[in-house]
Amino acid sequence: MSAFAKINLTLEVLGLRGDGLHEVATVLQTIDLADGLRFRHAEAMSLRCRGMPRTPDNLILRAANLLRDAVGVSEGASIHCAKRIPLSAGLGGGSADAAATLKALSRLWGIGQDEERLDELAARLGADVPYALRGGTALATGNGRTLEWLPDASRHWVVLVPLHADDPAKTAEMYRCLLPSDMTDGTLARRQAAAITAGAVDYGCVRSAFLRAAEVRWPEVSRALDALLVAAACAATLSGAGPSVFGLYRTRVAALEGMRAVRGEGLPARLCRFVVPADAW
Distance CA 21, CA 257 (A): 41
- Is 6 a known active-site residue? yes
Which residues touch 263 (CB under 8 Å, ≥6 apart)? 269
Catalytic residue among 35, 97, 128, 202: 128
Q: CA torsion sign, 119 to 123 to 128 to 129?
A: negative
* Residue 165: Cβ-neighbour burial (10 angstroms; 0-12, 13-18, 19+): buried
Do residues 6 and 132 touch, judged by C-beta distance below 8 A? yes
Do residues 241 and 173 touch, judged by C-beta distance below 8 A? no
Classify 13 as helix, strand or coil: strand
Do residues 25 and 190 touch, judged by C-beta distance below 8 A? yes
Catalytic residue among 6, 97, 103, 170: 6
Distance CA 275, CA 72 (A): 34
First to last CA, the chain: 8
- Is 103 a known active-site residue? no
Task: Provide the annotated active-site residues.
Answer: 6, 128
